[in-house]
Each structure stands twice: as C-alpha cells, then as structure tokens.
Amino acid sequence: MSKTAIEAMLPFFDKYYGNPSSLYELGQASKEALEAARADIAACLGAEPSEIYFTSCGSESDNQAIRSAAHLGALKGKKHIISTAFEHHAVLHTLKRLEKEEGFEVTLLDVHSDGLVTAAQVKEAIRPDTCLVTIMFANNEIGTVQPIKEIGEICRAAGVPFHTDAVQAVGHIPVNVKEQNIDMLSLSAHKFHGPKGTGALYCRKGMRLLSFIDGGAQERGKRAGTENVAEIVAMAAAMKEACANMPQNSAKLVKLRDKIIAELTKIPHSRLNGSMEHHLPGTINMCFEGIEGEGLLLHLDDKGICASSGSACTSGSLDPSHVLLAIGLPHEVAHGSLRISLSEYNTEEDADRIIKAVPEVVEYLRNMSPVWKELESGERKHLI
C-alpha cells in the first residue's frame, strides 16, 4: 500500500469509526468520507459519483455486472454472451456457471498470437439474442491492452451492454468510461497500491444493476452490508495518487520493463508473450523452454525476487496457464512461464537483480532437466 493510502485510512479506525448509515454525527462523518471517496473515484474514471458502487474486490464486481446483464437479458429472451478465451477466472467461471446452470450460450472469442482481440471479431459475433459483451481491458498475465473504445462503439451501436474487467488497467493507463463507450467496469484497489479486499463497480446511468447481496439499503440498494469505510477511503486516495502520477510512473516503468526484456530475451530459447505495442507499462511475461515455472519461482524467491508464473502447478494443478494456451503456445512451452510485475516503487537496482538472477536460475534448472537434455541432444525439437 502507498503511504498516502495508509495515512488516509487510519483515522477511520479510531476517530471516524461510525456507521455511515447512522443518522448521528459520528455516522454522518463516515458518510461524508464515503461519498467524497465515491466522487474521487468517479472523477478518475470520467464517471458520475452516482455510477460508482463499492464492492469487496474485482471478482465481486465482475460477478455482479455479468449476472445483472445476463438475468436482465434473459427476461427479454436474450441468453447469449460474448467474451474471450483468456479472461480472468472471475469472468470465465461466472460464464461457465451461467452456461451450465441457467442455459446461457457463451461465445469465447479466439485471441490472436499477440494477445489481442479485435472489434471486428466482436461485431461478427454479436447476435440478436446477445445480452452482454464482457472483455477485459488489459490481460492480467501478459499485459496486452485491448481496443476497448472500438469494442465499446460496436456494442453501443448494436444496443448490447459492454462490461470490461479493468482491474489491471485502472491506475496504470488512461481509463475514461464515457470516451471509451464502457457500460460497466470492474476495479480492485490493491492493483494501484490500495488495500486488498476492496473494489468498485462502475455502472453507467440508465443501465440496470441487480442486487448481488441482499439485506440493507447500502449502495442505493444494490449491495447490502455495512461499507468498509476505512478501506474505501484508502482506495480513493491511492487511485487519485496513481492517476495524478500516471505519466511519470508510466515512463519509469516502461524504461525498467524494456531494460529487463532486452536482457532476458538474450536467454536462448526464450519467448516474450504479448504485443509490446499495446501493453501495460509494468508487466513482463516470458517463457523459457525446457523448465517448469514453479521451479523458476521457488529459486527466484530464494534470491529475494517475488514473481509469478502462468503455470498453475503451485496450486496443485499440472495445467499450464489458460492465457498462454489461448494465444497458441503449446503446453510444453507454456509450462515454463514467468510473470514479473513492476511498480513505480521498483528501482534500477531491482531490474539489475532480475537481469542477473533469471538467467542463472534458468541455466541451473535446464542443467537439471531431462527434457532440456533431450532438446539439446536433438531427441526433441525446440519449440522456441
């Protein structure tokens, strides 16, 4: 978390601890802070305060947006949803349940090898019974940024609601819901140095939103439960800070990112994943043939580098990343993936540590790998 966010939230634990739904002065102080945070978040998105609903996270926001559009569409006999094959699981699993349990038909658009989908693909897939298009703003694993404005234009012209999971985008690249023709948008605070476990959902005025949690009248009756005022205030503070500093942060991250990529792509039989022309400033995703991703992560952790992998092996599954498979990588290559996420808090020294550590770990793991020995001996064909 940013120091700005921490400082903003602390008074709401012991001084302004009132329930914002209460009429007494202590509660109304919390209410004022809640509404000020709503206005700040709306301003960062080019939205109106009344279009912002507070949630617990991006996944909840995704669920509420998708299920609202789906169930309202079904009332009109529309049960077709368009998405992509490399969405976050908060989207894909929600769509799978709607498909399996409620009879919806889901079209998952193919993703090009550069990690992009096109507005033309969306236009071709829209049908008279389409009730929702949901396509992520920027991919959480490979960092590719989608043509959101153009996709939104297609959906608006067809009269189809358009939702985007913008968890990875908000605070890192410019987002304006009006200019980019977005009807609903999900975000999560921890992606821009706010607290974990709080998020928001933008829903354009005129769009209907169904209640996801029933109970009280909080969030204008659309999300019952006492608001987490401290974390919401911190989220707004972090978001304002991230958006205000976006130009200089982006310039710094692009420099660090490109420096790391330039060196790591020198490793033999390595591959950079995703389009670099349409890319988040601080995301790097690479594959190294002949090794497993989980081993790479554990050895990097020993060297003080916190990274992640497209491989799900560390969660008990041997399946490689669905994102990497969606862009056409074979299983053997997708298993050896590495994702590095940079922020403005990273330094040139951090970049140098990564540049030194990754080749050392890859070489060590390859020397231990029977697969790599088969590749080097010619028993197997190199795929990178």
Reported as a single tens digit per residue, the pLDDT across 14-68 is: 999 999 999 999 999 999 999 999 999 999 999 999 999 999 999 999 999 999 9
Please determine, for residue 324, whether its predicted confidence score (pLDDT) is greater than 70: yes
Q: Specify the pLDDT at position 315.
A: 46
For residue 192, the number of C-alpha atoms closer than 13 Å in the C-beta half-sphere is 35
The full 3-state SS of 283-313, as one line of letters, equals EEEEEECCCCHHHHHHHHHHCCCCCECCCCH
Task: Please list the active-site residues.
Answer: 313
Instruction: Compute the mean pLDDT over every residue in the chain, rounded to the nearest whole number.
Output: 95
The pLDDT, as a whole number, for residue 234 is 98
Query: Closest by alpha carbon to 348, among 278, 226, 279, 256?
Result: 256
Q: Are 274 and 139 in contact (CB under 8 A)?
A: yes
The residue type found at 2 is: S
- Note the pLDDT tens digit of each residue in 73-101: 999 999 999 999 999 999 999 999 999 99
How does pLDDT run across 242-252, given as a tens digit for each residue?
999 999 999 99
How high is the pLDDT of residue 313? 39
Give the angle subtended at the CA of 184 by the CAs of 182 and 189, to the nearest 5°. 110
* Amino acid 311: pLDDT: 42
Q: In degrees rounded to 5, what are phi and psi of residue 8?
A: -70, -35
The pLDDT-based confidence of 310 (bands split at 50, 70, 90) is: low
| CA 21-26-31 angle, 5° bins | 40
Burial of 123 (C-beta count, 10 Å sphere; 0-12/13-18/19+): middle
Give dist(CA 266, CA 129) in Å, integer: 49
Secondary structure E strands in the chain: 52-55, 80-84, 105-109, 130-134, 162-165, 184-188, 199-203, 270-272, 283-288, 337-341
282's tokens: 């601080």
Model confidence, pTM: 0.94
pLDDT for 352 equals: 98
Which pLDDT tens digit goes with each residue over 130-165? 999 999 999 999 999 999 999 999 999 999 999 999
